[in-house]
Amino acid sequence: MIHRQTTNDQHPASRDQDNLKALQLALGHCFGDLTLLRRALTHPSYVNEHPEDETGDNQRLEFLGDAVLDFVTGAWVYRRYPDFAEGHMTRLRAALVRTETLAQLARQVGIGDALRLGRGEEEAGGRWRETNLCDAFEAVVGALHLDGGLTAVESFIEPLIGPVAEATLAADADHDAKSRLQEWSQAELGVTPHYRIIAEKGPDHAKTFIAEVLLGKQVAGQGTGHSKQAAEQAAAHEAWEDQIRPKIS
């Protein structure tokens, strides 16, 4: 997550320029019309308190960016997951463009630091409020689309949403496999599955974990993954397919 340090006595205009430069680096795009980016970062409260400022607020750009994000994210999901049904693609896209996700991405690229807020909104904690961050992220995407076209938006968005999509799918798979196993084992055996990591292999930056799942004292499945959660999910899946499914089929 990017947080730029500024001194209290730094002139607002200088701080604004520094923020715009840093954000353009994070976006991977140098704006031909820098007013677009500045407007995308301007909360309505700033305009209310500075009527002399002619930049305007970010609400129209937010509207545009919301539509562009839906399209770019949907197209990426369509290409990246060719076997997904329509409903699965819709759910994944919704997870990628929800308020919490976009607010986190805004923090990640430093949009929060660059927001232009009215004093009241600033003092009320508005700089890190999820709705403000989400709105500003959408507005920045709208500005990026106007200044650099769809290619600029895709180059910025796709590397950001890739890891989020994988984490979302892994969490869904983990929840589904482990929940199904737990529901069955509690109903049929009166026990709750217990998971344990039995081995770790590889360097710290590329570890592989091996997990076991036990039903009572019996090892029911074993799985491997690049995180403990993924290994446990794989173990639950193996237990279900090898031990449980044959009994209920």
User: What is the spatial distance between Cα 157 and Cα 242, in angstroms, rounded to a whole number?
Assistant: 40
pLDDT at 203: 82
Is 172 annotated as catalytic? no
CATH of domain 12-169: 1.10.1520.10
Q: Which of 15-29, 83-97, 171-185, 229-243 has the lowest mean pLDDT?
A: 171-185
Where are the chain's structural domains?
A: 12-169, 193-248
> In this structure, which topology does domain 193-248 adopt according to CATH?
Double Stranded RNA Binding Domain (3.30.160)
CB atoms within 10 A of CB 181: 23
Among 57, 62, 113, 138, the active-site one is 138
- Do 207 and 177 contact (CB within 8 A), yes or no? no
Q: In sequence order, what are the residues at sequence separation of 6 or more whose Cβ sits closer than 8 angstroms to the Cβ of residue 83?
A: none
Amino acid letter, 89:
M
pLDDT at 6: 43
Q: Is the pLDDT of residue 124 over 60?
A: yes
Among 62, 66, 135, 174, the active-site one is 66
pLDDT at 176: 76
User: What is the spatial distance between Cα 17 and Cα 116, in angstroms, rounded to a whole number?
Assistant: 12
Element (H, E) at 187: helix 130-188
User: What is the spatial distance between Cα 82 and Cα 71, in angstroms, rounded to a whole number?
Assistant: 17
Is 57 annotated as catalytic? no
Q: Is the pLDDT of residue 240 over 50?
A: yes
* Average pLDDT of the residues of the chain: 91
Q: What is the pLDDT of residues 59-107, one digit of tens each?
A: 999 999 999 999 999 999 999 999 888 988 999 999 999 999 999 999 9
pLDDT at 11: 62
